[in-house]
């Protein structure tokens, strides 16, 4: 890693002081936050949190934003009761902490949530978005899960493209130009592999001057120089979902 004392590609950025609009529900063994739009819909988006977990106000803000755009948005606890990372934790212990929270081993939980969305919410078209740890989880799901329609991976560490890059569904990749933990060479290599092997629609976009977490971790009102890119990233994400759901 580029920074051995902080081996995670997450920087908390601005923690929103945000009261969420949705509610918490139980789907079999998983707790989840869900927010529904005013009008009924059969379109849903699974929101996969970063290392700071399903209760982070920033992530719930993004789920509520999806609901405001007409989607049932659900953010499950993909750590399944295990503690989320805290800024007070010792970063030297991070890699051990991460071993029990593998972004590529969430298939059982995703199946439970897909069933919940279909049976309890009437969802028929389901997509997924994820941030950082969740962005890597989206990459995994886009390569493996046949039941999702589309995905948006936001600054997900590029872990799942070493040996295969044939995406099953249209996928949008959001990266930051100045992300210390996802070098641009990795992004370039990802693009090359997708170009060679991918048979579905995809897009890889790098946002100039931005750092890791910018779409959900920075506040427009206190990061005015980043505001256009924060808004652009969110708009691009919504437009992609609109196109494929």
The answer to whether residue 132 is catalytic is: yes
Percentage of residues in the chain having pLDDT higher than 90: 81
C-alpha distances in angstroms, 101 versus 4, 20, 24, 46? 20, 25, 22, 18
Within a 13 Å sphere around the CA of 35, how many CA atoms are in the beta-carbon half?
20
The pLDDT tens digits of the residues spanning 54-112 come to: 999 999 999 999 999 999 999 999 999 999 999 899 999 999 999 999 999 999 999 99
The rounded Cα 54 to chain-centroid distance in angstroms is: 11
Which is catalytic among the residues 50, 64, 77, 179?
A: 179
Which CATH fold topology does 23-244 show?
Rossmann fold (3.40.50)
Percentage of residues in the chain having pLDDT higher than 70: 93
Which is catalytic among the residues 132, 140, 169, 226?
A: 132
Environment class of residue 110 by beta-carbon count within 10 Å: exposed (0-12), middle (13-18) or buried (19+)? buried
What is the strand order of the sheet 125-131 is part of?
A: 23-27, 30-35, 72-76, 43-48, 125-131, 151-154, 171-176, 202-207
The pLDDT tens digits of the residues spanning 213-233 come to: 999 988 887 888 999 999 999
Q: State residue 202's pLDDT score.
A: 97
The pTM of this model reads 0.94
The answer to whether residue 8 is catalytic is: no
Q: Where are the domains of the chain?
A: 23-244
CB atoms within 10 A of CB 39: 6
C-alpha distances in angstroms, 194 versus 39, 129, 188, 206? 37, 19, 10, 16
The answer to whether residue 14 is catalytic is: no
Residue by residue, DSSP assigns 39-68 as S--SEEEEEE--TT-TT-HHHHHHHHHHHH
Which is catalytic among the residues 140, 169, 181, 212?
A: 212
């Amino acid at each position: 890693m580029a920074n051995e004392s902080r081996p995670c590609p997450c920087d908390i950025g601005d923690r929103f002081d945000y009261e969420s609009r949705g509610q918490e529900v139980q789907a079999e063994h998983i707790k989840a936050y869900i927010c529904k739009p005013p009008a009924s819909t059969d379109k849903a988006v699974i929101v996969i949190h970063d290392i700071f977990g399903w209760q982070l106000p920033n992530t719930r803000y993004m789920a509520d934003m999806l609901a405001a755009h007409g989607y049932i948005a659900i953010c499950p606890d993909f750590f399944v009761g295990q503690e989320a990372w805290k800024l007070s934790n010792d970063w030297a212990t991070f890699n051990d902490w991460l071993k029990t929270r593998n972004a590529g081993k969430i298939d059982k939980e995703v199946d439970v949530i897909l069933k919940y969305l279909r049976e309890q919410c009437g969802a028929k078209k389901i997509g997924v978005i994820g941030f950082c740890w969740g962005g890597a989880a989206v990459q995994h799901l886009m390569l493996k899960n046949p039941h999702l329609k589309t995905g948006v991976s936001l600054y997900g560490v590029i872990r799942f493209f070493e040996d295969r890059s044939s995406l099953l569904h249209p996928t949008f990749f959001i990266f930051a130009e100045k992300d210390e933990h996802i070098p641009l060479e990795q992004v370039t290599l990802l693009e090359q592999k997708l170009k060679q092997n991918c048979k579905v629609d995809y897009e890889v976009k790098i946002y100039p001057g931005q750092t890791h977490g910018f779409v959900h971790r920075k506040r427009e009102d206190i990061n005015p120089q980043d505001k256009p890119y924060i808004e652009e990233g969110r708009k691009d994400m919504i437009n992609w979902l609109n196109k494929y759901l």
